[in-house]
Amino acid sequence: MPDGTLGRPQAREHRGAGPGGRWSWQRFVELERRIGTITPKVLTQRLRQLERDGLVRRSYHAEIPPRVEYEISDLGRSLAPLFASLARWSDAHLDQVEQARQEYDALGRPSSS
């Protein structure tokens, strides 16, 4: 987040998941809206890195205006258990992280942002 805090976890809905838990294609603008705290340039860079790594698939549609969609690949989906574990850790420890940051900031040390 811009202020350097982790923020509170959002409800973990799998909005992209279709029948059977399969992830559907997401348009670039939909991803940009859902993330909210990323510039279009940085989002494009990250999506290209993920595509290069085989974690997402990109589909370009030569329409007016052009349409670009992304889907998590099978390789990307294989990371789901790891992300679920990180989400559980965040739920259990976010208050402690925020407390540590407040204590650190109270000492007048520079933050990373």
Whether 31 and 45 share a structural domain:
yes
Query: Is residue 67 located within the same domain as residue 90?
Result: no
User: How large is the average pLDDT for residues 4-8?
Assistant: 40
pLDDT at 1 over 80: no
Three-state secondary structure of the chain: CCCCCCCCCCCCCCCCECHHHCECCEEHHHHHHHHCCCCHHHHHHHHHHHHHCCCEEEEEECCCCCEEEEEECHHHHCCHHHHHHHHHHHHHHHHHHHHHHHHHHHCCCCCCC
> Is the pTM above the cut of 0.75?
no
Is residue 36 one of the residues assigned to a domain? yes
Write down the pLDDT at residue 23.
59
Residues 84 and 64 reside in one and the same domain: no
Task: Give residue-wise pLDDT tens across range 43-98.
Answer: 889 899 999 999 999 999 899 988 888 899 999 999 999 989 999 999 999 999 99
Instruction: Give the least confident one: 11-15, 25-29, 31-35.
Output: 11-15
The parent domain of residue 30 ranges over 24-77
**pLDDT bracket for residue 19 (50, 70, 90):** very low
- Same domain flag for 31 and 65: yes
Query: Among residues of the chain, what percentage have pLDDT more than 90?
Result: 43
